[in-house]
Amino acid sequence: MNFLISGGCKNGKSFYAQRIARDMAQKQNLPLYYLATMIPTDEEDRARIRRHLKEREGWGFDTIEQGLDICGCLGGKTVTGAKVNPKGVFLLDSVTALLSNEMFRADGRIDHDAPQRLAEQLRQFAEITGNTVFVSDYIYSDAFSYESLTEEYKKGLALLDRTLAKACNRVIEVTYGFIKEHK
Partner 1 sequence: MILIFGGAYQGKLDFAKETFSIAESDIYMCQENTDLDMSAKVLCNLEQMVLGCVKENIEAKDILTSYKDEIKDKIIIVNDISQGIVPIDPVMRAWREMVGRTMLYLAKEADEVYRVFCGIGEQIK
Q: Which residues bind partner 1 (CB under 8 A)?
A: 4, 6, 8, 138-144, 154-155, 158-159, 161-162, 164-166, 171, 173, 182-183
H/E run at residue 40: none
How far apart (Å, rounded) are the C-alpha atoms in residues 107 and 89?
33
For 4-13, b where at least 16 C-beta lie within 10 A, e where not — what string? bbbbeeebbb
β-strand 89-93 against 132-135: which pairing, if any? parallel
Task: Name residues whose C-beta falls within 8 Å of residue 110's C-beta, 6 or more positions apart in sequence.
Answer: 103, 104, 149
End-to-end CA distance of the chain: 12
Q: Is 109 helix (H, G, I), strand (E, B) or coil?
A: coil
Q: Is the peptide bond before 100 cis (omega within 30 degrees of 0)?
A: no
